Amino acid sequence: MTAYCSNGKYGDFCVFNLRSNKKTFTYKFEKGDLNAVLSRDGKRLYVCSNRKLKIIDIPDGSTSIKEIPGNAQSNGVIRVYGSDKLFIETLSDDDDSRYSTSYFMADYDGNIDKVADGNKIGVYNWGDNWGKYFLAFTGENPDTIVIDSHSGKQIRYVIRNDDETAFDISDISRNGDIALARVLSWDSHDNSRAIRLIDTKTGQRVDCKIKSDSYCSPEFVNNDQKIVVDYSDAEDPTKMHIDVYKSNIHYSPIEKLIFFAQDNMSIVAGGGIALVLMIIGGIAVVCVHRKKRAAAQTNIAGTAPKAKKHKRSRHKKYAQQEQVAQQSFTDSAFDTQWQSSGESLTDIPQQPFASSAPKFCRHCGTPLVPEAKFCPKCGHPVE
């Protein structure tokens, strides 16, 4: 919070921290200083002086000075609502200063540029509508122009009707397409006023009468969906009336989403960061799962041939043992039959038969099956 204190010769500009309830900085006005505004983050103080803009860092108090272009006298500086854009008004020495006003725009560091065609305009609404647009009158008519507070450029030009006067337009829609004005209904016998919607592109106008002839200042609320009009009671000035009207302005879902993002920038930024982190985390989890799956498949592929080879060699071993056992059983049966017959070996007809002595592979030493042509283990031919 900031406050102007009248202590001293020119007064003090004080900065307070509402959380600690303490005064954190004090600037003592000097001769020629007009006014001061604080940046949104509370770290810089901008003081408008005669043809100068002072930028003071808080809390060390270091100061830098920017020269305001031209020779016109400075008339003050303001900060756009919800932004760190600064607007500086300068006045010439002409008798009719209304048409000899220049406006300059400065950023957070105090860099200064000229605003639109600011030589013959008079700003009368410094961005009350979300700080997005300024309303100014221009020319001898005078007509109304709409200035984008972020770029300093003119975006609309509204030609004044015969039944409208200067300052009638009191607000502008968030997209700059609809202006809201207060006008006197000349065709009414009770001098009642009307609120008027003006299409800034086509100039088309729509009126809605107000029940009182009191001065009013209509404003857009609820993202331009409603119009609020407050005015004093005609018979009892201590009473205040507040009327709410539907504006019938329709915005697309995309425009509504943009408005929500503008009004809740911190929430949108936090949600965006959380979403990005969730996406990165999901990608990391998928990559880890894929890596583990690939490693498991590689292990299975590497162990399968070994198991198959081991199983094959085990079958071969069992087959060789069975053949050796079968050969031993045949030899034993032959010996038993000879002993039971009681005949001498010489009386038995000599018949050729395979030798009962097992043969071995001369390459690997594996026992061979009778009449085997190849070694079952190494595969070499049997000689």
Note the pLDDT tens digit of each residue in 161-196: 887 876 788 888 888 899 888 887 655 555 567 888
The pLDDT, as a whole number, for residue 53 is 93
Q: Nearest-CA neighbor of 45 among 82, 90, 77?
A: 77
Six token digits for residue 100: 């000899």
Average pLDDT, the chain: 76
- pLDDT band (50, 70, 90) for residue 347: very low
Note the pLDDT tens digit of each residue in 281-305: 889 888 888 888 888 777 666 555 5
- Domains of the chain (ranges plus CATH)? 2-253 (2.130.10.10)
Six token digits for residue 53: 């803009």
Q: What is the Cα–Cα distance from 163 to 83, expressed in whole angstroms?
A: 35
The pLDDT, as a whole number, for residue 103 is 80
User: How close are the terminal C-alpha atoms of the chain, in Å?
Assistant: 110
DSSP 130-149: TTTEEEEEETTTTEEEEEET
Calculate the alpha carbon distances from 76 to 53, 68, 103, 104 in Å.
10, 12, 10, 11
- pLDDT band (50, 70, 90) for residue 135: confident
Q: Nearest-CA neighbor of 110 among 153, 67, 59, 58?
A: 67
Q: What is the Cα–Cα distance from 376 to 5, expressed in whole angstroms?
A: 110
Q: Nearest-CA neighbor of 194 among 176, 175, 215?
A: 215
The pLDDT, as a whole number, for residue 56 is 93
Q: What is the Cα–Cα distance from 176 to 189, expressed in whole angstroms?
A: 34
**Phi (first) and psi of residue 168, to 5 degrees:** -65, -40
**Phi (first) and psi of residue 277, to 5 degrees:** -65, -40
- pLDDT band (50, 70, 90) for residue 340: very low
Is the pTM here over 0.75, yes or no? no
The pLDDT, as a whole number, for residue 44 is 92
* Burial status of residue 101 (CB atoms within 10 A of its CB: 0-12, 13-18, 19 or more): buried
Count of other CB atoms within 10 angstroms of residue 102: 21
Q: Which residue shows structure tokens 């000035």?
A: 237
Six token digits for residue 362: 């001369």
* Coil/strand/helix, residue 270: helix
- pLDDT band (50, 70, 90) for residue 338: very low
- pLDDT band (50, 70, 90) for residue 370: confident
159, 203 contact by CB (below 8 A): yes
- For the residues 138-147, what does the mean pLDDT come to? 78
371, 377 contact by CB (below 8 A): no
- For the residues 69-83, what does the mean pLDDT come to? 78
Q: What is the Cα–Cα distance from 78 to 91, expressed in whole angstroms?
A: 15
* Burial status of residue 372 (CB atoms within 10 A of its CB: 0-12, 13-18, 19 or more): middle
Residues 6+ apart with CB under 8 A from 293: none
Tell me which DSSP letter residue 119 carries.
Answer: G
Q: What is the Cα–Cα distance from 252 to 183, expressed in whole angstroms?
A: 30
Calculate the alpha carbon distances from 168 to 121, 172, 193, 275 in Å.
16, 12, 11, 46
Q: Pairing state of beta strands 112-114 and 359-360?
A: unpaired
Type and span of the H or E element at 226: strand 226-232
DSSP 208-221: EE-S--S----EEE
- pLDDT band (50, 70, 90) for residue 23: confident
* Coil/strand/helix, residue 207: strand
Which of 82-86, 211-215, 365-369 is predicted least confidently?
A: 211-215
